[in-house]
C-alpha cells in the first residue's frame, strides 16, 4: 500500500479546497482512496487475528465522506482533507465501538478507540451506569501497564458528578464523562511506511481492545436513534 500517495492527495486537497479542483482531480482521488482501502483491508485482517468480529467488513463500507456539512460552520471549505475509517462488528456505526483511523497531513493523524459520540444520551447513561456498577474492572483495564503507558482516557465532561450518582464514588471523575475514548498520534513519516505502519497500528489497536470490550458490554442492547 502507498501511504505517501494518500498523504500527497490530501495535502493537495488541503491547499486547493474547492469544488473545481476536486472534480478536476477525480483520478488522483480514486488512486489515493484505493490505497486507503488497501490499507483498511490489511487492518481488518490484522485486527481480525484478535477480534474476529470485524472480519466480515468490506473497506468501502467503513469510510467517511470528504464532503463537509458547512451549514452551521464559519468555515465554508467544502471538503475535510482527511481519510477516516471506523472498523467494528457493525461497520462504521459509532456503536458498537471499534477501531478508528484518521489520516490527515501535517502530523495530525491518529488511531482511536472507544465512544466518541457524546450526542447519544442513552449510550452515555448506559456507560455511566456500567462504570458505577463495575468500577474495579474499569480501573483494572485503565491501569494495565501497556494501556496506562500508551493512552489517556478523554471525552466531553460535565463539571459535576451527574445527579443520581454518589459524588464520593471511586470512579466519580469518569462518571462526569459524556464520552470515553483514547487516541494515539501518528506522524506523516509513520504513514509513509505502509506495511510497517499497519503492523504498528494493529499492535496499538490490540492494546485498546479490553477498553473497547468493556464499553461494548456497557452498550449491550443500545439502539441507534432513528433518523
168-210 confidence digits (pLDDT tens) = 999 999 999 999 999 999 999 999 998 999 999 999 999 999 9
pTM here is 0.95
Q: Please count the residues of the chain.
A: 227
According to the model, what pLDDT value does residue 215 have?
98
The Cα 190–Cα 201 span in angstroms is: 10
Q: Where residue 29 falls among pLDDT bands split at 50, 70, 90?
A: very high
According to the model, what pLDDT value does residue 69 have?
85
6-18 burial, b for 16+ CB within 10 Å, e for fewer?
bbebbebbbeebe
Starting at the edge strand found earlier in the chain, the sheet holding 180-186 runs 83-87, 99-103, 109-115, 180-186
According to the model, what pLDDT value does residue 162 have?
96
According to the model, what pLDDT value does residue 137 have?
98
The Cα 142–Cα 170 span in angstroms is: 14
Question: Which residue is associated with the grid cell 458528578?
Answer: 161
The Cα 182–Cα 215 span in angstroms is: 12
According to the model, what pLDDT value does residue 226 have?
79
Residues 83-142 pLDDT 10s: 999 999 999 999 999 999 999 999 999 999 999 988 999 999 999 999 999 999 999 999
- How far apart, in Å, are the Cα atoms of 136 and each of 60, 61, 80, 141? 39, 37, 40, 9
- What is the secondary structure of 13-26 as a DSSP string? HHHT-SHHHHHHTH
As beta bridge partners, residue 79 has 67
According to the model, what pLDDT value does residue 155 have?
97
Measure the CA dihedral 29/32/36/38, to 10°.
110
According to the model, what pLDDT value does residue 70 have?
80
According to the model, what pLDDT value does residue 73 have?
81
According to the model, what pLDDT value does residue 46 have?
98
Residue range 146-150: average pLDDT? Answer: 97
Between residues 82 and 2, which one has the greater pLDDT?
A: 82
- Which strand (E) or helix (H) includes residue 183? strand 180-186
Mean pLDDT of the chain: 96
Q: Where residue 167 falls among pLDDT bands split at 50, 70, 90?
A: very high
Query: With 90 as the cut, is the pLDDT of residue 225 above it?
Result: no
Q: Where residue 34 falls among pLDDT bands split at 50, 70, 90?
A: very high
Cis amide linkage into residue 96, ω under 30° from 0: yes
Q: Of 198, 205, 199, 204, give the one whose Cα is nearest residue 35.
A: 198
Residues 38-87 pLDDT 10s: 999 999 999 999 999 999 999 999 999 999 888 878 888 999 999 999 99
Amino acid at each position: 500500500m502507498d501511504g505517501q500517495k494518500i498523504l500527497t492527495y490530501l495535502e493537495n486537497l488541503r491547499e486547493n479546497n474547492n469544488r473545481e479542483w476536486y472534480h478536476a482531480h477525480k483520478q488522483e482521488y480514486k488512486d489515493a482512496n484505493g490505497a486507503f482501502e488497501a490499507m483498511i483491508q490489511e487492518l481488518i485482517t490484522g485486527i481480525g487475528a484478535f477480534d474476529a468480529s470485524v472480519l466480515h467488513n468490506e473497506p468501502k463500507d467503513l469510510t467517511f465522506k470528504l464532503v463537509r456539512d458547512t451549514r452551521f460552520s464559519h468555515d465554508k471549505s467544502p471538503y475535510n482533507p482527511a481519510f477516516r475509517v471506523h472498523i467494528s462488528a457493525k461497520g462504521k456505526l459509532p456503536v458498537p465501538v471499534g477501531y478508528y483511523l484518521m489520516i490527515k497531513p501535517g502530523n495530525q493523524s491518529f488511531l482511536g478507540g472507544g465512544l466518541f459520540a457524546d450526542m447519544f444520551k442513552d449510550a452515555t447513561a448506559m456507560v455511566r451506569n456500567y462504570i458505577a456498577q463495575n468500577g474495579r474492572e474499569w480501573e483494572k483495564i485503565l491501569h494495565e501497564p501497556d494501556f496506562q503507558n500508551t493512552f489517556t482516557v478523554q471525552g466531553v465532561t460535565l463539571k459535576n458528578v451527574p445527579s443520581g450518582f454518589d459524588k464520593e464514588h471511586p470512579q466519580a471523575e469518569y462518571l462526569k464523562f459524556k464520552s470515553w475514548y483514547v487516541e494515539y498520534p501518528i506522524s506523516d513519516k509513520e504513514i509513509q511506511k505502509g506495511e510497517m505502519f499497519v503492523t504498528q497500528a494493529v499492535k496499538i489497536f490490540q492494546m485498546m481492545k479490553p477498553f473497547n470490550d468493556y464499553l461494548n458490554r456497557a452498550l449491550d442492547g443500545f439502539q441507534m436513534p432513528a433518523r
